[in-house]
Structure 1
């Protein structure tokens, strides 16, 4: 089992983590659909990694209709999708509960909204794939939420619940069809992705080398591999 010849969508691909994941997946033989809101940043990504095995797509992942149109374009160009790495994120916090403004929450909520839209848009593909993997990046703040990061922790907790629901959907679809489980939904937890971009890229790519039944609905603590 490997990610070679698989079609993988990276949602929020223009970050440092997106660059590392794109490079790692392409090196392993996957076709990467790099999705972001900024065409210039997507072009910078393409310039950095090359275009052989890469397709870039401009999309507002918080807009359900825009995501549906994205899925149609991907299907027409590349066929069904086998993987999804959700990297849409951001941070706002501080000031205790009184400092947690509604504007801050709505900004952070965009990540969860994007996750819901993109996972629904490609759910049928992932459930039908012979080997599918999805992953989100969450935070250790879910286990120990602080007043100054209440909005952030709440959004990450909701995202984890959604990722686990995706995992249950994969398991139910396999059981109902009488087929072995072939899709897995995984949560990566970390304190910060700074310095861990390559570790994330490698761990996500390696998900295809482990049977889905061993990885579905699991939480992986992402730490500095040098420690």
Structure 2
């Protein structure tokens, strides 16, 4: 396995979408610890400030976390975000997509349109928009990575979670399509083909766990749950792994 000259997360500019969630905060911490510039993106400036403190005013502002407010379900807004991030940092090496949420637990005939709309917006629309807006950045980076979080339950879909699992299945199909696009872009140079340097990946979990959940139910075992810190560590590790092997992969993070 040969890694590109720039490998690992050190010095990478990585956008974390859904940064105010428990998994988003963990991803920002892990990326910064690895020497990356973690760019926190959320839908509310107040929640971003609560999670990360006062925002950085420029690309090199001390230890502050760069923050951007954006409705990622709006493609025009997402394109503006991409332009702002490029202007500010010069490039984007990675996107960790952590937008989503869960709705489920209802009988099949009670799978509501409202729940579907919520899940489609969070799991599919925001993913489509960020992947399109940042595709060229990921493809051009010597260590481009795009990662989303999905569910291991797709292997055995349930009636009670039909909306959720259908939305995640659509999102995974989109990522596989993105992966094929990245591979195709790398193979366009017939005379002097370049090594694959970019990858789109699915990180699959049964459910996520954070310290607040443990504190609220100390007697509970949470079997098979993946701690948000483990998810964050796995996302950071993607930048040190072979892109050709990663591209299009579905990585099971079940604890």
Structure 1 counterpart of 2:127:
115
SS at match of 2:149: strand
Q: How much does 1:94 deviate?
A: 2.1
The number of equivalent residue pairs is 224
Answer 1 or 2: which has greater helix percent. 1
Which of the numbers 167, 170, 176 marks the counterpart of 2:179? Answer: 167
Q: How much does 1:184 deviate?
A: 1.0
SS at match of 2:188: helix
Which of the numbers 54, 63, 67 marks the counterpart of 2:74? Answer: 63
Which of the numbers 21, 41, 46 marks the counterpart of 2:27? Answer: 21
In structure 2, how many angstroms separate the alpha carbons of the residues matched to 1:61 and 1:49? 19
Structure 1 residue runs of 5 or longer lacking an equivalent are none
In structure 1, how many angstroms separate the alpha carbons of the residues matched to 2:76 and 2:205? 31
Structure 2 counterpart of 1:149:
161
The 8 Å contact of residues 8 and 84 in structure 1, kept in 2 or not, is answered as yes
Is 2:199 the partner of 1:184?
A: yes
After TM superposition, the score normalised by the length of structure 2 is 0.85
The 8 Å contact of residues 139 and 190 in structure 1, kept in 2 or not, is answered as yes
**Over the residues paired in the alignment, what is the CA RMSD in angstroms?**
1.5
After TM superposition, the score normalised by the length of structure 1 is 0.95
Structure 1 counterpart of 2:245:
214
In structure 2, how many angstroms separate the alpha carbons of the residues matched to 1:188 and 1:49? 28
Following TM superposition, the consecutive aligned residue runs of length 4 or more in structure 1 with deviations greater than 3 angstroms are 48-51
The 8 Å contact of residues 95 and 148 in structure 1, kept in 2 or not, is answered as yes
Structure 2 residue runs of 5 or longer lacking an equivalent are 1-6, 57-61, 211-226
Indicate the structure (1 or 2) with the bigger Cα radius of gyration: 2
In structure 2, how many angstroms separate the alpha carbons of the residues matched to 1:53 and 1:27? 13
Alpha carbons of structure 1 residues 53 and 186: separation in structure 2 relative to 1, 3 Å: farther
Q: How much does 1:53 deviate?
A: 6.2
Q: How much does 1:49 deviate?
A: 10
Bigger drift between 47-56 and 177-186 goes to: 47-56
In structure 2, how many angstroms separate the alpha carbons of the residues matched to 1:105 and 1:27? 37
